[in-house]
Structure 1
Amino acid sequence: MPSRAERNALIESNLPLVGYLAAETHARATHIPRDELAAVGALALVTAAEAFDADLGVPFGAYARRRILGAFADEMRSMDWASRGIRKRIKETVAVRETLTSALGRTATAAEVATAMGVAKEVVVEALGDAARTVTTIEDPSARDVTADVPLPEESALVGERREVLEQAVLALPERMRRIVQAVYFEERPVKEIAEELGVTHSAVSQQRSEAIRLLRDALDRYFAEGSAPVTTTRVSAGARDAYFSRIADAASARIADVFRDPAPA
C-alpha cells in the first residue's frame, strides 16, 4: 500500500485524467451530467491510489484509467432506463432498418421498416427514438495516448482542496449511503452482495449510490461556487441537504467549515 504522501502524489498528478475521461464519456452519453461523471471518477481515482501496488509493474495511469472507466460503466448501468424487452425491440428494429438501407441504397423510412417487420409505424418510430437515447458502451481508450504526468495549472491549484472536501463529504453521508459508497468504490464489492447484506434490492442500492453521488456533487459545487448559487442535483429534502452540509462543517477544518455554515450564495 502506498504511503499517504505517495497516494496524494498519485491523485494530484492524475486528476486531469478524470476530467479527460469524463469529457470523453459525456460526449458519448450526454444523458449523464459531466459533473456527475467527474465526481464518480474522482472517487475511483482516490480508491485506485489507495489500492495501487507498484510491484505489479503496471503504470498507475493505466491502472487508474481502468478503474475510472469501470466506475463510469457502473454509473451508466445504474441510470439505464431500458428493460431487456425494450433493448430487444431496439436491436431488431435497427437491424431491419440497416438491412433495408443497404438494399435500397438509401436510409429506409419508418414506414418501410414497419412493413418489413409487420408492426405499426408508431412502434418503429418509438423504437428508433429509444435507440437514439440508449446508453452508449464505453469504448476502451487504451489505444489513446493521454498525458497525465503533469497536472494542469488550474487543477494543481485546487486539487488539495477538492480531495479534502471530497473526503469529508463522503464521511458526512447518511450512514447507509456512506456504507454503500465505501463498499462500491473503496472495497470494490458487487452491488448484489451489498444488497444482500443490507437486506434490500439491487435497485435500492443503485438508487442510494446515485443519490450519494448527487450529494457529493452538491457538496463540491457548494464549496467551489463562485457568486451565484449552484444548481441542486440531489433529490433529498432541503432540510436533509442542509443537515448533510452541517455534518461536513462539524468535522472539517475551519476553512471548509466556514463555507458549509454560511448561507449558500444567492
Structure 2
Amino acid sequence: MADNDHRCLVLEHWEYGRRIASQKLRAWGMYMPEDELRSLVGLALCEAASRYEPKRGAKFQTFAYYHLLGALTDSIERSRRQQEVNCELDLIEAESAQIEASDEGAASSPETLLLHLEAKEKINQASAGLNAMQRQIIQKYFIEDEPVRHIAEELNCCHSHVSRLKNKAVTSMRKAFSGKRELRQL
C-alpha cells in the first residue's frame, strides 16, 4: 500500500478509533487524558495501516479494532507497572533519606541505628540482585527519566531487549521488597 492509502485509512477510521478507545476505557473503568488518548489512537491506527494487508481478507476496521485494543492494554499495563515501580522507588528514597538523616544526627539511639542499618541492608539487597546493565537501565529509566528507546541506543541494544531487562529488574526488586515486608510482618 502507498503512504497516501495509509493516510486515507487513518483519516477514515479516526473517529471510529477514538470512539472504540473511549468505550473500552469506560467499560474497564479507566481514565486517560484526552491528548494521550488521541496520541494512542493515532499511533495505533498508523501502525495498523502500515501492517494491514487487504489480500488476507479482513476489513481494515476489524484489523484496526484489535490493533487498538492491544495498544490500549499495553498502555494501561505500562502505566500500572510504572506506578508500582515509582512506589517502590519512593520507598527506597524515603529509607535512604532516613538513613542519611540518622547518619548526620550524632545522638541516635541504638534501636534507631539498628533500624537504619536494616533499612540500608534492605536497599542494598534489593539492588544487589540486579546485574550491572539492569541497574544502569533502572537508573536511566526511573531516575533520569529517559525513554527506553534512548536507553537502547546508548547501550547499543534493541528496544525490546532493554524493555525486557527493565521488567526483569523491576520484578526482582519487587520480590526483594515483598520478601522483606513479609519478614517484617512476622
How high is the TM-score relative to the length of structure 1? 0.33
Report which structure shows greater RCO (CA 8 Å, sep ≥6): 1
How high is the TM-score relative to the length of structure 2? 0.45
Higher share of residues assigned helix: 2
